[in-house]
Amino acid sequence: MAHDSPSPMTARIQRVVASRPLSAINARLLHHLDRGVFRLSGGRTSAMALLARLPVVNLTTIGAKSGRPRTTPLLGIPDREHPGRLAVVASNWGQAHLPGWYFNCKAQPHVTCLVKGTTGTYLATEIDGAEYARFWGYAASIYAGYLSYAGRAGRHIPIVLLTPTSDASSSPAATSA
């Protein structure tokens, strides 16, 4: 899932998408549009992938409170040093509160993720230190909006690493089937 830095035109689109007014709208509406495009494309692309050339994946977690599967479209930041691993950033569009999927990963770290039409099982772990800095650099190079979000969130923005696992028996897909 290699991904290059955006072109100047794509970077401008990303800055507009990350602006405070559009972020407020996107936080409430874009995931619905992304889900529809994912469904129509067989899980191969999303609205944000088409509009702003972003590597969007569908992360399925188990609800920390409900115990039910929850699927969220997120930017999947590829690990350039370890192919197959990817990270998701808990920016929540720069809002002051953490996204629900983050708490779900903390409560039940076995997740599934749909990446370019293929679903896999992963272990979700929050990263820090040098690994956090490395992934923050990757994330900011793919989507400049993260820098805007960090400036207005007023909190630390966690990054969750998704490491492939073969333990399908504890994944959300296996428990919800």
Q: Could you tell me the maximum CA-CA distance found in the chain, to the nearest angstrom?
A: 44
> pLDDT tens, 118-134?
999 999 999 999 999 99
What pairs with residue 56 in β-bridges? 75
The whole-chain average pLDDT of the chain stands at 81
Q: What is the dihedral of CA 133, 56, 99, 67, to 10 degrees?
A: -120
pLDDT of 174 higher than 70: no
Confidence band of 6 (pLDDT split at 50, 70, 90): low
Q: What is the mean pLDDT of residues 12-25?
A: 60
Helix (H, G, I), strand (E, B) or coil at 21: helix
The answer to whether residue 13 is domain-embedded is: yes
**E strand or H helix at 80, and its extent?**
none
User: Are residues 54 and 121 in contact, defined by beta-carbon separation less than 8 angstroms?
Assistant: no
Residue type at 90 in one-letter notation: A
Lowest mean pLDDT segment, chosen from 91-95, 105-109, 155-159? 91-95
Lowest mean pLDDT segment, chosen from 7-11, 73-77, 121-125, 136-140? 7-11
Give the pLDDT score at 100.
95
Separation between Cα atoms, residue 51 and residue 46, nearest integer Å? 9
Indicate the number of domains in the chain. Answer: 1
* Full-model pTM: 0.74
Look up the CATH number of the domain holding residue 122.
2.30.110.10
Give the pLDDT score at 168.
43
What pairs with residue 98 in β-bridges? none
Q: What is the dihedral of CA 161, 173, 104, 164, to 10 degrees?
A: -10
The answer to whether residue 14 is domain-embedded is: yes
Task: Count the alpha carbons within 13 Å of 164 in the hemisphere toward its beta carbon.
Answer: 12
Lowest mean pLDDT segment, chosen from 21-25, 93-97, 124-128? 21-25
> pLDDT tens, 31-67?
667 777 767 777 666 666 656 667 889 899 999 999 9
> pLDDT tens, 138-160?
999 888 889 888 988 999 999 99
The tokens 């979000």 sit on which residue?
149
Give the pLDDT score at 68.
97
Which range of residues forms the domain containing residue 69?
Answer: 8-176
Give the pLDDT score at 30.
63
The answer to whether residue 3 is domain-embedded is: no
Total count of residues recorded for the chain: 177
Q: Which long-range contacts (CB under 8 A, 24 or more apart) does 29-35 make?
A: 30/73, 31/72, 31/73, 34/73, 35/71, 35/73
Give the pLDDT score at 124.
98
